[in-house]
Amino acid sequence: MKRLVIALLLALAVIPLQTIEIKAANLTARVDISQQVMVVTHRGRVKYRWKVSTGRKGYYTPTGTYSPKWLSRHHRSRKYNNAPMPYAIFFRGGYAVHGTNDLKRLGRPASHGCIRLAPKHAATLFSLVQREGFKNTRIVIRR
């Protein structure tokens, strides 16, 4: 019996430990840069699929998994001529998911790196983030 316990403990010591996220995000916005699409999952169910615009040639949209850092309902860009960024959800420095009035360019790269949505879609996502909270929201960006 002692040998069995020792063998089991040794086996467990060899198995790599992984971090387990105890609570999954209630809200996930997955951005596929290659498809220029965002899929929003809320409480395990796909709720929305929207066209986006990400960074155009010469500009970079960061990839990875983020939580929102701060929100700004009526934001204006300090870097790009006071351009409107309604319903901005900032996730990494100056990078945000936000609304755009340039609807004809949705579905193809057109931004300086942010993720642009139609204003009504940005408002919907903004409201969901407010309701679920930053800790329960993930923004996942892949190429």
Domain range enclosing 132:
25-142
Residue 10 lies in a domain: no
Q: Which residue has the tokens 């940005």?
A: 122
pLDDT tens, per residue, the chain with 143 residues: 656 445 545 555 544 433 333 256 899 999 999 999 999 999 999 999 999 999 999 999 999 999 999 999 999 999 888 899 999 999 999 999 999 999 999 999 999 999 999 999 999 999 999 999 999 999 999 99
Residue 9 lies in a domain: no
Residue 1 lies in a domain: no
How far apart, in whole angstroms, are the C-alpha atoms of residue 92 and residue 70?
Answer: 10
| Token representation of residue 141 | 């960006």
pLDDT at 2: 59
Residue 14 lies in a domain: no
pLDDT at 80: 87
Residue 34 lies in a domain: yes
Residue 2 lies in a domain: no
CATH of the domain at 87: 2.40.440.10
What is the Cα gyration radius of the chain?
20
How far apart, in whole angstroms, are the C-alpha atoms of residue 81 and residue 113?
Answer: 15
Residue 62 lies in a domain: yes
- Overall number of domains in the chain: 1
pLDDT at 16: 42
3-state secondary structure of 71: strand
